[in-house]
Amino acid sequence: MMDSKPPSSREAIESRIHDGLLATRPDVVGIIVFGSFARGETWRDVDVLVVLPGPTGDTREWADTVLTLRNAIALPRVEVMPYSQQGFVNGLRNHSPFLLDVAVDAIVLHDRAGLSNEIAAAKRYIQDRHIQRLRPGSWRFPVQYRRSTSLSERSNEDYVRRWLEDASRDAEAAGALRSAGLHDRSVYHCQQAVERAVKACLACFGSFERTHFVAWALRQAMADQQLDEWANRLMRLTAIAERLEPHLSRARYVIEDETGENLWVPAEHYFDADSAGALNETREALQIAREFAAWWFAPEA
């Protein structure tokens, strides 16, 4: 049960995390705090990666594990990310951008599996390969122009393919939601699809952004690339992304309206024309991203 007065000092919070997790799950092999709290910045949530000895299970088992670990820590603002030991080590060795962020920020509270050595190796890789972290969640890997480039066991082409697959699923969801008359949710999934399409194009350049607002990042990345006839089409993609980005929150949340007197309910403000327009632009954005990726990785004649 969560204490009525949770600890406020950094040392007390770290102690609560460490002691609470090990009391509930003595088999835990690693506890790593990362994110803004670990960097000593103003923080809203405490991010905790918990390494378990075995698999975290299917989706339902994973969700149960998250709940158990959060209850063990008993802090009001904590985000828990469980990893299997093998998954964490393999992810670091494959230089997952997310886990590289964890490695750079890491405060290791518990380690009985040599995880600190894996974190140190990941940091050396960043330095040796001249990989840049422009800010938390923003990475630049050196890649070859119009070549599939290995980032480790995975290549930038692997990331591009998966982003595009995920974008297609969001576009399908948007179409189904529009057919069901759920226009606000349809527009939201359109935004998600276009965001992933932009992230696929960024991955071509070795750029990874852990944010929803990526149109500006693609525009910046384009400035350093020789794109020939693709410049105008990618600018069209960024324009679509920019138009949809405000709907990330507006199409999802009930909030006070601009008068402060009533509640803004998305379902009452999104209509068939809104979802139809968003879906048309989403399909155009996906076509641009797919064709650009095909061109980028096509062998030169």
The answer to whether residues 26 and 121 belong to one domain is yes
The answer to whether residues 109 and 193 belong to one domain is no
Question: Could you tell me the two tokens for 139?
Answer: 């990475």
Q: Which residue has the higher pLDDT, 21 or 42?
A: 21
Share of the chain above pLDDT 70, in %: 97
* Residue 2 reports pLDDT greater than 90: no
Asked if 106 and 38 count as a contact pair (C-beta separation under 8 A), the reply is: yes
**How does the average pLDDT of the chain come out, rounded?**
94
Dump pLDDT digits (tens) for 179-225.
999 999 999 999 999 999 999 999 999 999 999 999 999 999 999 99
The answer to whether residues 169 and 278 belong to one domain is yes
Asked if 107 and 34 count as a contact pair (C-beta separation under 8 A), the reply is: yes
Confidence band of 251 (pLDDT split at 50, 70, 90): confident
The answer to whether residues 102 and 167 belong to one domain is no
The answer to whether residues 290 and 167 belong to one domain is yes
Q: How many CB atoms lie within 10 A of CB 130?
A: 9
The answer to whether residues 24 and 83 belong to one domain is yes
Any long-range contacts for 31-36 (C-beta under 8 Å, 24+ apart)? Answer: 31/108, 31/109, 31/110, 31/111, 32/102, 32/106, 32/107, 32/108, 32/109, 32/115, 32/119, 33/106, 33/107, 33/109, 34/101, 34/102, 34/105, 34/106, 34/107, 35/79, 35/105, 35/136, 36/136
CATH number of the CATH domain containing 22: 3.30.460.10
Min mean pLDDT across 31-45, 121-135, 203-217, 246-260 is at 246-260
For the chain, what is the domain count?
Answer: 2
- Alpha-carbon distance values, 232 to 24, 222, 227, 228, 236 (Å): 56, 10, 9, 9, 6
The answer to whether residues 117 and 20 belong to one domain is yes
- Nearest alpha carbon to residue 152 among 195, 197, 122, 188: 122
End-to-end CA distance of the chain: 65
Q: Would residue 113 count as lying in a domain? A: yes
Asked if 281 and 194 count as a contact pair (C-beta separation under 8 A), the reply is: yes
Residue 234: predicted pLDDT: 98
Nearby residues of 25 by Cβ (< 8 Å), 6 or more positions away: 50, 52, 68, 69, 72
- What are the backbone dihedrals phi and psi of residue 110, each rounded to the nearest 5 degrees, phi first? -155, 135
Q: Would residue 69 count as lying in a domain? A: yes
Q: Would residue 143 count as lying in a domain? A: no
CA distance 204 to 213: 18
Type of residue at 185 = R
Q: Would residue 137 count as lying in a domain? A: no
Dump pLDDT digits (tens) for 163-185.
999 999 999 999 999 999 999 99
What is the rounded average pLDDT of the residues 245-265?
A: 82
